[in-house]
Amino acid sequence: MRKALIECQATVRSMLGLSPSAYQEDCEILGPENAAAVTARILERAGHINSAGGYLRDLTRKAECGKFSRGRC
């Protein structure tokens, strides 16, 4: 399941309009598995999020500060 999630992230990232640089930064900070899970969660909540890229970058900043919980995104 984890491998499939990571493999499909490029498609989901494109659907959401997330830039490769934003996703790469997220991968570097959270790791590929968590980054893919966050991308999937953004897809689930896409109707409630105005800017998927901005949301991802905000979560990435929170992770840098130790204020990120995958369960709360």
Instruction: Specify the length of the chain in residues.
Output: 73
The domains of the chain are located at: 2-72
Q: How far is it, in rounded angstroms, from Cα 5 to Cα 58?
A: 22
**Residues 1-31: tens digit of each pLDDT:** 677 877 888 889 999 999 999 999 999 999 9
34 or 3, higher pLDDT: 34
pTM (2 d.p.): 0.79
Three-class secondary structure of residue 34 per DSSP: helix
Label residue 3 exposed, middle or buried (CB < 10 Å: 0-12, 13-18, 19+): exposed
